[in-house]
Amino acid sequence: MARCDVHPGHHFKDWQVWPGSFDNPPVDGVFRMPENSGLKITPTTRIASLGSCFAREIKRRLIQHNYTYIEEEIDRPAAVHASAAWERVYSTHCMRQIFEYSFEGWTPDLRWWPVPASDRVQDPYRRTIVYDNLQAAETDFARHRICSRRALQQAEVLILTLGLTEIWQDQVDGAVICLPAGPYVREGGDMSRYEFKVSRYGENLENMERIHAIMSRHNPDCRLLVTISPVNLWATFRSDMDVISASCNSKSTLRAVADEFTARHANVFYFPAYEMATIYQPLAGRTYFCEGRENFHINKPTVKFIMKHFFQYYS
């Protein structure tokens, strides 16, 4: 049992008090969590995942440890990050659109971007995916929808990694593009219909509830495991806030969303990858940042630390 001088009569578990506070043991390399998560994952559990850059790290480690990771469209480069060719998915808005086009035929007002300097077309909703022509785009996306739906319907556990709250939204129909990037943007494509905004708690929670409702209809036995990506924003489009504060705002908002979302549903669970990286590692005297040009990413020792606890906690 742990103790707290402020509440001397209360008996705390070791995971309920701050490591090293008062007379409690300091960090020792083991991130303390409640004993019973309510979620068990074995090597035979069918797992799918999608989300931000951190989702790619989760995928790699699950495959390395011979877990039953669902992979569709393995011939597509965009599938390296997740269970299908969703590419990296940074916002809950884009995540919601994936579930809606997979199961409900969601189609935005402007489906494709014609690349100005060629006959190629770019997918605004999947980062920098470009096709030689419109027919190739339509054909491949029809295949992608089938693969996406199959991956989500097969999953016994679906890991969703939430990334950021900055979005670019179509002012005509409210659709959210992935990022203002790729050849369409570089070659002067018209971006006037898109408005930059910072999405807030309520709309992000609504997106997660919409995802849950869709999965409840099409794969009701699937359990959702939510994480917050510890990868920071490398740049912010905000003009009222520095990048470090903007990154903190994104993560804090999504962490609050994840807490409420988890509390509402018995089949939704939260895994504290974000806390392990950004708080526990510094408490242990270690940095969680990569070195070099992409120092906003987390380093390999931190990924290893997080996934070691993932396997211990759920297996």
Q: Is residue 14 part of a domain?
A: no
Range of the domain at 211: 48-314
The structural domain count of the chain equals 1
Q: At residue 88, does pLDDT exceed 90?
A: yes
Q: What is the DSSP letter of 276?
A: I
pLDDT for the residue numbered 102: 98
**What is the mean predicted confidence (pLDDT) over 21-30?**
90
pLDDT for the residue numbered 172: 97
Taking alpha carbons only, the member of 120, 268, 264 closest to residue 183 is 120
Q: Is residue 145 part of a domain?
A: yes
CATH number of 260's domain: 3.40.50
**What is the mean predicted confidence (pLDDT) over 234-257?**
97
Q: Is residue 134 part of a domain?
A: yes
Using a 10 angstrom Cβ sphere, with 0-12 exposed, 13-18 middle and 19 or more buried, the burial of residue 297 is buried
Q: Considering the entire predicted model, what is its pTM?
A: 0.95
CA–CA gap between residue 283 and residue 273 (Å, rounded): 15
Q: Is residue 42 part of a domain?
A: no
Residues 6+ apart with CB under 8 A from 121: 112, 113, 114, 115, 130, 131, 133, 134, 137
CA–CA gap between residue 54 and residue 65 (Å, rounded): 17
> Which amino acid is it at 8?
P
Q: Which residue has the higher pLDDT, 101 or 13?
A: 101
Q: Is residue 25 part of a domain?
A: no
CA–CA gap between residue 9 and residue 246 (Å, rounded): 40
Q: At residue 1, does pLDDT exceed 80?
A: no
pLDDT for the residue numbered 312: 92
161 vs 129, 208, 251, CA distance in Å? 21, 12, 11
Q: Is residue 1 part of a domain?
A: no
Q: Which residue has the higher pLDDT, 179 or 261?
A: 261
